[in-house]
Amino acid sequence: MRRLLLVHTGGTLGMSGRRPHALKPGAFFRTVRQRVPELTKLAQLEFELFSNVDSCEMQPELWTRLATLLHERLDDFDGAVITHGTDTLSDTASALSFMLKNLDKPVVLTGAQRPLGEVRSDARMNLIDAVTAALHGPKEVTVCFDSHLFRGNRVRKVSIAEYDAFDSPNHPVLGVLGVEARFQPGLARKGRRTLWPNVVPDVFLLRIFPGLDPALVLPMLPRLKGLVVEAYGAGNFPVSKALGRSLEPVFSEAQRLKIPVVVVSQAHRNGVDLSLYESGSLARSYGAISGGDLTMSAAVVKLMHGLAHVAPRGLREYLERSVAGERS
């Protein structure tokens, strides 16, 4: 029987408690054996308790530890399943996709909207599907949720209360687990699996909104190593000086301080094109980098990762190309 590593990090799937009372971390592995005994018919599972926290507590230091654990242990298994809270699942999946270069085994993240111990939980099917994907799916970092398999660095959380909690608006699904499980080939490997575990977390995400005062942003720039701007549409932001809210000084000061700026879109579909409008062209003249159709999570994590592993002169090229299937 094929062997899988099941790593628990925490999240709703493994929590205990009864609504309306607050949920809290529970005895996950005992609950899995009781509630989903058929997992042992699919694979020989080895359990690894990595952490038992709400996913809002998953920080970059934990991404590094998790990637290192997987890299060190994957040789002994046919794949890995990671149970994770939904709130930052896309961030962890993005981080692992950059840290585990040229994966030769499937690494599948999953979670749930209701704890495994509840009667109407989606956790049971998500676990079964994730194990199936780790046995037969593409050899890359993926997210398995609501009978769909997504590329890990392409997903967004789109729902708090429905079971179809994730979507991949700019990339087709890699698998559908219906009556039959069907999977796409996934990424092509270009060498041996290597570990690139470090990140520089001194990055800020600036979401553009009407009324944003650039005077609030400028004082923080000297503390940053990188900036992601979540702009309107194709990469738009205010540039008119009439009301004193032009964001041109932000881009100008970032260039002076040699802070890389990546522009992504608030729109979920399609991506940034800095050549279409005046503000985008202005940003580009100050050295801003188009994030294309990167998700917010992938843009922030990739910038953190690039700052740690790529020389400044090569950072633009690293951010503008697809490293792990994260952009079109």
What DSSP state is assigned to residue 60? H
* Active-site option among 163, 232, 277, 286: 277
Q: Which amino acid is at 119?
A: V
d(CA 16, CA 96): 27
Active site (annotated) includes residue 157: yes
Active site (annotated) includes residue 88: no
Active site (annotated) includes residue 104: no
Active site (annotated) includes residue 41: no
Say how many Å lie between the first and final Cα of the chain, rounded.
Answer: 38
Residues paired with 226 in a beta bridge? 203
* Active-site option among 54, 68, 78, 87: 87
Q: Which helix (H) or strand (E) holds 156?
A: strand 156-157
What burial class does residue 180 get, using C-beta atoms within 10 Å of its C-beta: 0-12 exposed, 13-18 middle, 19+ buried? exposed
d(CA 69, CA 82): 12
d(CA 128, CA 38): 8
Compute the chain's Rg from CA coordinates: 21
d(CA 116, CA 14): 6
Q: Do the Cβ atoms of 246 and 240 come closer than 8 Å? A: yes
* Active-site option among 9, 12, 110, 132: 12
| Pairing assessment for the beta strands 289-290 and 194-195 based on DSSP bridges | unpaired
Question: What CA dihedral angle connects 57, 61, 67 and 68, to 10 degrees?
Answer: -130
Q: Count the alpha carbons within 13 Å of 107 in the hemisphere toward its beta carbon.
A: 30
What burial class does residue 25 get, using C-beta atoms within 10 Å of its C-beta: 0-12 exposed, 13-18 middle, 19+ buried? middle
* Active-site option among 86, 88, 132, 295: 86
Active site (annotated) includes residue 83: no
* Active-site option among 105, 139, 157, 302: 157
What DSSP state is assigned to residue 295? -
The token pair at 203 is 């990055």
Q: Would you please indicate which residues are annotated as catalytic (active-site) residues?
A: 12, 86-87, 157, 277
